[in-house]
Structure 1
Amino acid sequence: MQQPDSPVLRDIVLIGGGHSHVGVLKRFAMHPEPGVRLTLICRDTHTPYSGMLPGYIAGHYTFDEVHIDLRRLAEYAGARFLSDEAVGIDHSAQQVLCRSRPPVPYDLLSINIGSTPRVDQVAGAGEHAVPVKPIHRFNDRWLTLLERIKRHPGTTRIAVVGGGAGGVELLLAMQYRLRKELVAQGRNPEELVFQLFTRSAQILPTHNARVRAHFERTLAARGVAVHTASEVVSVAEDRLRCAQGHWHAADEIVWVTNAGGAAWLQDTRLALDEEGFIQVDETLRSLTDPAVFAAGDIATQVDHPREKAGVFAVRQGRPLADNLRASITGRPLKPYHPQARWLALISTGDRHAVASRGALFLAGDWVWRWKDWIDHRFMSKFNDLPPMEEGAAKAPAPSRVVLDEEESAQAISAIAMRCGGCGAKVGASVLSRALATLTPAPRDEVLIGLHAPDDAAVVRVPPGKAMVHTVDFFRAFIDDPYVFGKIAANHALGDIFAMGAEAQTATAVATVPQGLEAKVEDTVFQMMSGALEVLNEADCALVGGHTGEGRELALGFAVNGLIDADGNSALRKGGMRPGNVLILTKPIGTGTLFAAHARLAARGRWIDAALASMCQSNRLGARCLRKHGATACTDLTGFGLLGHLVEMTRPSNVDAELDLAALPLLDGAEETVAAGILSSLQPANVRLRRALRDQSAWLDHPRYPLLFDPQTAGGLLASVPAERAMDCLSDLRELGYAKAAIIGHVCEPGEALEPIALKDPALTDPALTEAIPEQPVLDKQAHKA
């Protein structure tokens, strides 16, 4: 997690990861504004570049070539990335309302979410048509269609609704790719029947006659039936009906028309046009709320209306960034006048393209190569980021943010050297406001808890129970305090669940970066909201804690649990028995992945998957393991898989064998260790290599480094009777532990000093595979679709 050089004084929140906002992130990355924090709220980690999407559909580009990694770009810009979806705006409180997290406060807000297909305006379209936006849903349906056509011979009828450049270009790309797949299988490409429907009297109505004529000839030559002046008014499961009353058979219907603004904007104070787009002035600021800006397809400049085209979203990035910066620092805003004419490069699916600008018409393979060069140059600005520099912390730069008198006093206090001891505590009023709306899980044993004014909590121990105590604390490694709170709570509860105990109460200790009171208050609220969700789900009552100021955000918990007083129900590390099977409930790799994330060397979707794994509680997994007779258990944390396994074999007086090929791994973990990117804790863990038998023989195995990878909120490692292992594994997967795996077994103690042996069936059985690949294969999304 990047730490700002100066306290946060103002928040600029960006909703959506469109082309304008990636430009804003890049400009603030190149020229940070001291005291200003950027926050990007976006549902998708990877945002597609619309200019290259048809090339991806046609199979010319990979997934990663046509997508900008927003999480990585935000990290580069020092911005917070919040993986969520905005659903509203509280203008009075200046907060963004989100679908699955607490509201996010803003000082300035910018919206760049693109347009939303209006499939609801045509009967049946919402149920039976596939809108091209949002792109991630269309991509999922496209990949499904691709596989279905490859596997099931027979006629497939595909209809595209929308005769603009987007619809025509998409149809030709789909047709090219699908026909190519059929030819590769020795099948007849005429199995595919394509139709294009448009309510306009002609296709590409905003382009010149020569451009239209070229595409009319192209569509005719490729056997596409074009229905002009044919507005689609009804859609069924396998057909669509036009206004003239004719029904047309269609197995797949793709919707590339009738776009408007997102429905949730209707409930805001923002001025909208007839299509639901946000009306903005020449500075890209809302006509009705000066704290809100908008750009791209979602915005309509009332004095300069233009067609919805990606070129405008791209070019609005710079003026939007400049005006956000000017507004936050009290300087005049500058008008932006979009060009009246623009160059459109429209591909025909087969590495051929047409250039259109006013009366200009150019066509040829060379135009496609020109377009390809322009697109790759654009994408390199956001994906080819220089590595993060490491070095001494810089002195805080002076901030240009305009503050009132009280805020100025708070900022001076935050920048100045703070005293230690109790002087480092977060102010009582700030803390009380942040915690006021949090409701801990109620437990009868809690006599004095979180919201009582006493000095300590008072908790009763139920009769027949004994206490289980544990504590964990670490600094934030991500920039989202809400998600960090969830992970920190899960990490702390892991020891309780691994012991077979029931979580009872928790006390928190946190440090929060200094800053204006409102910023500190929100950070505490976001972090503790996430933590309380996890604690409450575990029926663990938060009964108190301590919050202080520090340079880095950090959080920990002292957790108390309950277990039967005789201790016989405790799951301890020393209960492993020869013949038991080793089960791991979650994949490993968090250490290397977040080391790579800090160096901009991890893909955003890898980090998304790792965060989802860390946010998954071990509570249900522990119950499942106990149900199937687990004899020993521990949770994987900082010592890594090998370290924790050694902790189990020693008191159990057994040996163990691990199957490297069976280890469940987080996506990207093999790639990052192959690149030599390891956690800072890895060297200390590697000292345990002496516990490995024939250790030198495994040094070059691609998974060997992951044995020492430290985990945060990792899974449970347990020994289970062999005869119950498969049922246990099946139940774990039904409970949501999708990558739970049997990774080895427990052996009788041998004569060798080293208790752990490794194996990989692929190395000993040539029938399984010829050899371990020298380089790990990229995840499936990085392959050509």
Structure 2
Amino acid sequence: MQDAGQVVLRDIVLVGGGHSHVGVIKRFGMRPLPGVRLTVICTDTDTPYSGMLPGYVAGHYAYDEVHIDLRRLAEFAGARFYRDEVIGLDRDQRQVLCRDRPPVPYDRLSINIGSMPAVGLVEGASEYAVPVKPIRRFNERWLALLERVCRHAGRTTIAVVGAGAGGVELTLAMQYRLRGELQRRGRDPDALAFHLFAAERDILATHNARVRRSFERVLTERGVVVHRAAEVSRVSAGRLCTRDGETLAADEVVWVTQAGAATWLRQTGLALDAAGFIEVRATLQTVSDPLIFAAGDCAAMLGRPLEKAGVFAVRQGPVLAENLRRSLLERPLRVWRPQRRWLALISTGGRYAVASRAGMHAEGAWVWRWKDWLDRRFMARFGDLLPMADQARSQRAPVPLDENEALQATSALAMRCGGCGAKLGGTLLSRVLAALHPIERADVLIGLRAPDDAAIVRVPPGKALVHTVDFFRSFIDDPWLFGRIAANHALGDIFAMGAEAQTATAIVTVPPGLERKIEDNLLQMLSGAIAVLDDVGCALVGGHSGEGSDLALGFAINGLIDENLAGVLRKGGMRPDDVLVLTKAIGVGTLFAAHARLRARGRWIDQALAVMAQSNAPGARCLREHGATACTDVTGFGLLGHLVEMVGSSRVSVEIALDDLPVLDGAVETSAAGIVSSLHVANLRARRYLRNPEQGSGHPHYPLLFDPQTAGGLLASIPLARADACLRALRALGYDKAARIGRVLPADEHAEPICLLAQARAKPSG
């Protein structure tokens, strides 16, 4: 995470996770610029390395071997990682417009979003073809195609449109993998037919004649039919047509043609070339705006047209990182000079490759081994982050700020007042509140619409108030997402008791700094929270804000329930023969402890964040509808700690099946490595309530009984006869890992109340 002791003076925003940007992130991680914060905005956590994708398709590499973990890399660099889609720019306000969150301000901006095949230019291609680009989303499309082909009975015809190096290499990789898959299933690999469509007379038109002849030979040997000067003009269900009238019946069409640009770039006002790519100077600075840079496939260099090849994006990374740094320091920028000739190592499906560089040609298994060594060396730069983190800490040296920036930093870090002097400024708060639009309720008589010293809220006749409060500091560098999670966490107690959320007051702490940076943090955080509150009809009616060392957020929530307590769910109330149901998976604490140590995969963190951002409101309604007899939300005390509270209040015993505990991906691995949350040790005290700790202590799920959760799921007891229907309904509502984790037994005065089963009992049907 960002160093809390450092005042943010400037923001560099990186849009996209391409090859150039991964280099920028790493370099800023190794040598940060004091006062400068990086924010990475990308739709995906795992970004593929294009040079190894054909090897992945062919089956030579596993998924993680060919993907760079952007979230982990950002954590290493102290950069914020926003998983969102960029849809435009507001250059006047210096803001990046995102699909789900408020605009993100920038002082310098860099765009590295790659390209995509121009499927929209050919009738039917968007609907019926499988595009290779954007490569960040290729894996899901490839796995779906692989599954379809393996399930397809009889002969399968696959057409690949595009006969450059990418199209030829992908054709041979797919053929190699699919033939192997069919053989493993005892099917005839010759039932596969591949057709390669070239718009020009030659395949690999940008490579020398000897390279072309090598691949012509290989394609002939492998039985791939090459269609030359065959520009595809239309694709329909099961068929494609060329401009010359040739047609082919094809079960699958894969599109690897000339790349196109993202459509949102057209509305930015940036100068674009004829194909829609951003025009940049040799410094990688855009022609239109000195504050914006671009690199990789999405950029077009003035006076030097370049092939859309990953080698250029990789080579641009060091210059881009240096120029972003120099631009903020107002120093002369470096010029990037692309090489006139570059080495291409193109595989032939198996562990054999062809080397091409200008007029040079070589081929053999040794070329593939060479390519493999180069690719693995490149990926190691972004995978072996733990030793790099130690090296970075020892090498980081401050870069002098200019006089104005030094003054701003000194002012922001000056001794801060306490008490009311720590409040945020009224003008700043007014601007933020004007941008927020919390839901309005008729029972809110005085709230944020006309703020006063306090809110006044009517309690409807026949209703009683339910009060709760929660507050904690941020554990992620995304204030918008943190706001959503904090709101969900605070609402959990209301829903666990079967109440309706009515109003909320916020308690906010923001680190000191420049006013505009504080304003952005506050706006992002409260926007995320209000979206959650609005969804459940809870009106934000006021709050308190102040400065502190960490970003933190909490809410005092008022809820409503029938004054006769009809429908209230309490921790007590479990009855023998009830079934224990848990709505969400556990493992949040160990995963984020591992993330802080660079020991967690980004996609594990993605899943954990998605679970924390999921509201408990639908789950609570479902549990009530299926006759829940007791309920609580699982948070800081961990599953066992909260279960102990329920058992004590209900005066029963319970049996927990460790096998049945729903667990977040990666949590078993991180807890087995001894990585636990700071609260884990305190939660271990609940072991004394276990009847047989030795029975489960060796089970991989055992440590997760004590793992503290944030915005965790609901733990409820459900009558046996309704448990299966309840679980089906929960899963239909999106609680994919909702599970039956045990059963309620009569109290045993001579034994501890909680019994562990290492293996699940056979579940009686209900």
TM class, shorter-chain normalised? over 0.9
Corresponding residue SS for 2:385: coil
Distance in 2, Cα, partners of 1:580 & 1:246: 67
| SS of equivalent residue, structure 1 residue 174 | helix
Picking from 584, 587, 611, the partner of 1:586 is 584
Q: In structure 1, what is the equivalent of residue 495 of structure 2?
A: 497
**1:125 maps to 2:125:** yes
State the one-letter code of the partner of 2:128. H
Deviation at 1:606, TM superposition (A): 0.7
Corresponding residue number in structure 2 for 1:278 = 278
- For 1:292, the aligned partner's letter is I
- Counterpart contact for 1:430–1:521, Cα < 8 Å: yes
Instruction: State how far apart, in whole Å, the 1-side matches of 2:498 and 2:527 are.
Output: 26
For residues 351-750 of structure 1, what are the structure 2 equivalents within 5 Å?
351-386=351-386, 400-402=400-402, 410-750=408-748
Q: Tell which deviates more after alignment, 155-164 or 382-391.
A: 382-391
Gaps (5+ residues) in structure 2? none
| Separation in structure 1 between the aligned mates of residue 428 and residue 411 of structure 2, nearest angstrom | 15
Question: How far has the Cα of 1:753 moved from its partner?
Answer: 3.0
State the Cα distance separating 1:249 from its structure 2 match: 1.1
**5 Å matches for 1:55-454?**
55-386=55-386, 400-402=400-402, 410-454=408-452
Aligned counterpart, 1:30: 30
Amino acid at match of 1:437: A
Q: Residue type matched to 2:534 in 1?
A: N
**Separation in structure 2 between the aligned mates of residue 372 and residue 387 of structure 1, nearest angstrom:** 23
Counterpart of 1:549, as a letter, is E
Q: Which runs of 5+ in 1 are unaligned?
A: 766-785
Deviation at 1:675, TM superposition (A): 1.2
Kept after mapping to 2: 8 A contact 1:273/1:279: yes
For the 8 Å contact 1:575–1:652, the answer to whether it is kept is yes
| CA drift at 1:760 | 3.1
Describe the superposition over 1:373-428 as per-residue Cα deviations: whole angstroms up to 9, x where unpaired: 0000000000110169799x99x986644575xx7654322111212111111111
* Aligned equivalents of 1:755, 1:389: Cα separation in 2: 46
| AA partner of residue 259 (structure 1) | A
Matched-pair contact (CA < 8 Å) for 2:696–2:758: no
Q: Distance in 2 between matches of 1:464 and 1:560?
A: 16
- In structure 2, what is the Cα distance between the partners aligned to 1:186 and 1:216? 30
Q: What CA deviation, in whole Å up to 9, does each residue of 1:602-659 have, x standing for no partner? A: 1111111110100000001101111111010000000010000110011101000111
Cα distance, 1:151 vs structure 2: 3.5
Deviation at 1:570, TM superposition (A): 1.3
Kept in 1, the 8 Å contact 2:695–2:756? The answer is no
* Distance in 1 (alpha carbons) for counterparts of 2:709 and 2:365: 51
Relative distance call for 1:126 and 1:624 in structure 2 (3 A) is same
Taking the aligned partners of 1:388 and 1:593, their CA distance within structure 2 comes to 21
State the identity %. Answer: 67
Mean Cα deviation higher: 509-518 or 42-51: 509-518
Partner of 1:761: 759
Whichever residue aligns with residue 539 of structure 2, its letter is A
Task: Give the Cα separation in 2 of the matches to 1:137 and 1:68.
Answer: 13
Show the counterpart of 2:6: 6
3-state SS of paired residue (1:616) = coil
Cα distance in 2, alignment partners of residues 388 and 624 from structure 1: 48
Q: Equivalents in 2 of 1:694, 1:488: separation in Å?
A: 36
Confirm or deny: 8 A CA contact 1:634 1:718 kept in the other structure.
Answer: yes
Separation in structure 2 between the aligned mates of residue 559 and residue 651 of structure 1, nearest angstrom: 24
1:782 is matched with: none
Q: Which residue in 2 is equivalent to 1:19?
A: 19
TM-score, with length taken from structure 1: 0.95
User: Shift in Å at residue 431 of structure 1?
Assistant: 1.5
Is the contact between residue 10 and residue 401 of structure 1 (CA under 8 Å) also seen in structure 2? Answer: no
Verify the 8 A CA contact 2:4 2:549 in the aligned structure 1: no
Output the TM-score relative to the length of structure 2. 0.97
1:303 CA drift (Å): 2.7
Residue 244 of structure 1 deviates from its aligned partner by 0.6
Q: CA RMSD in A?
A: 1.7
Cα distance in 2 for partners of 1:389, 1:554 equals 26
Q: What letter is aligned with 2:335?
A: P
The aligned residue for residue 769 of structure 1 is none
**Partners of 2:30 and 2:388 within 8 A in 1:** no
8 Å CA contact retained: 1:511, 1:553: yes
Q: Secondary structure at the match of 2:92?
A: coil
**Separation in 2 of the partners of 1:361 and 1:387?**
38
Using the alignment, how far apart are the partners of 1:152 and 1:748 within structure 2? 54
C-alpha deviations, 1:446-491, integer Å up to 9, x for none?
A: 1111243421111121111111110101110000000000000000
User: 1:751: how far off?
Assistant: 3.7
CA distance in 2, matches of 1:403, 1:206: 51
Matched-pair contact (CA < 8 Å) for 1:387–1:599: no
Q: Distance in 2 between matches of 1:45 and 1:467?
A: 42
Residues 403/482 of structure 1: CA separation in 2 closer, same or farther (3 Å cut)? farther
Alpha-carbon distance between aligned partners in 1 of 2:196 and 2:351, rounded to the nearest angstrom: 21
Give the superposition deviation at 1:187: 2.2
User: Offset at 1:761?
Assistant: 2.8
One-letter amino acid matched to 2:320: L
Alpha-carbon distance between aligned partners in 2 of 1:378 and 1:23, rounded to the nearest angstrom? 11
Given that 1:330 and 1:402 are in contact with CA atoms closer than 8 Å, whether structure 2 keeps it comes out as no
CA drift of 1:136 comes to 4.8
Q: SS at the partner of 1:613?
A: helix
- CA distance in 1 between counterparts of 2:566 and 2:251 reads 62
Native 8 Å contact 1:328 1:401 kept in 2: no
Instruction: Tell me if the contact between 1:119 and 1:258 (Cα under 8 Å) persists in the aligned partners.
Output: no
In structure 2, the residue corresponding to 1:25 is in which secondary structure? helix
Q: Which is worse superposed, 206-215 or 407-416?
A: 407-416
Distance 1:359 1:276, change over 3 A: same
